[in-house]
Copies of this chain bind each other. A is one copy, B any other.
Amino acid sequence: MATDDLDDEIHALLRREDQRYTKGRRALVATLRAEGQPVTIPQILDASDGLAQSSVYRNLVVLEEAGVVTRIVTNDDFARFELAEQFTHHHHHLICSSCGDVVDFSLDDQAEAGLDEALHDVAEQAGFTVEAHRLDLVGTCADCD
């Protein structure tokens, strides 16, 4: 997605929540976009220059509520953040239980479709309204092996 289109959509999502698309929020989005993988807040503070920690925490909450950003919580100390799937693509995560690193992966369409169908049945039977499904592989990454 082109930067301008992405910014327009984000602007719209934020406006829907009566929130502005400020400089700090733009910087956050730019950082997440540049990284392309889930990042922790310390990583964001290192990578982007001059952002205040409190604003980063606060703005990630705002962006998450607006549907711009997704929070990934693992057993690691820090939460991780990435652009929401609507700005990237549906995917899942490899979570290294040794170094804590989180990396995206995708399932092939057929497997994803099969999974979706099975989950749909489960949710229906449980009277559960599905917002999203989350699939992670937990183990050891190539670097840590």
Contact = CB atoms under 8 A, between A and B. Distances in A.
A31 B107 CA distance: 38
Contacts of A140: 128-129, 131
A115 B133 CA distance: 14
- The range of chain A's interface size is 35 or more
Q: How many copies of this chain? A: 2
A105 B138 CA distance: 19
A134 interface: yes
Given A71-B75, A75-B73, A122-B137, A127 B115 contact: no
A22 B108 CA distance: 47
A123 interface: yes
A130 B138 contact: yes
A74 interface: yes
Nearest to A64: B75
Contact of A94 (B126, B139, B141, B145): B126
B123 A137 contact: yes
Contacts of A129: 139-140, 145
Closest 3 CB pairs of A and B: A127-B142, A111-B118, A131-B139
